[in-house]
Amino acid sequence: HTANVAITDSWNIVKYLDSKYPQTKACLPREAVALQKAFEKTVEPKLQWNILLCMTTQTCSQMNPRSAEYWRRTREKMFDKKLEEVGTEDSEKKEVVWKNILDLLSEVDSWMKENEEGTIFICGKEPTFADFVIGSHLTWMKRVLGVRSKEYQDLMAVNGGRWAMLAEGLNRWEWVDKESLESSI
């Protein structure tokens, strides 16, 4: 099942995996590709940027030395300043960034309310690319900030607990090992 293929960018990776493994549920269902692309172009960059502003220094501090060096070098080039100057240790700045994150997720929540009641995924009963995008960012925050942090607890409670339900719904994909991989196919 392995191929000597190098693919970058989550969108391209998902397209490749959907075509390579057509017997599995598609992350980009044919009837929702345009919606998924719109999500990838509008929601993901805003979410990622604000989380990056909020957690760039903390993320770097949890990496092994080689990864931390790469993270620091590439992010400092991106921001044209030291990581410590990017972070949101300033409480007023941090408050604005967290408000941006929560406002964006509240907007997505308002769209999801149009779904059938009780659905936790963006396209209904099965997760799609957009769910995995949000889920990966929730996991990033959980790992860096910790499940007991005020920010993560607030995030899990906002929008009637929607993001906690989404995170739980995606839980089976949080860790990939041979056993869980075999049981998911």
Q: How many CB atoms lie within 10 A of CB 156?
A: 20
Residues 6+ apart with CB under 8 A from 159: 105, 106, 109
> CB–CB of 77/69 below 8 Å?
no
Mean pLDDT of the chain: 89
Can you give the length of the chain in residues? 185
Q: What percent of the chain lies above the pLDDT cut of 70? A: 91
Q: What percent of the chain lies above the pLDDT cut of 90? A: 68
Rounded to whole angstroms, the Cα distance separating 138 from 159 reads 14
Give the helix ranges, DSSP H, for 28-185: 33-61, 65-79, 83-86, 91-112, 129-145, 150-169, 178-184
Encoded tokens for 159: 């929008």
pLDDT digits (tens, 9 = 90+) for 42-98: 999 999 999 998 888 899 999 999 999 999 999 999 999 998 888 766 677 888 889
pLDDT digits (tens, 9 = 90+) for 17-57: 999 999 988 999 989 999 999 999 999 999 999 999 888 88
pLDDT digits (tens, 9 = 90+) for 143-182: 999 999 998 999 999 999 999 999 999 998 877 765 655 5
> What pLDDT sits at residue 175?
73
Q: What is the DSSP string of 140-156?
A: HHHHHH-TTSHHHHHHH
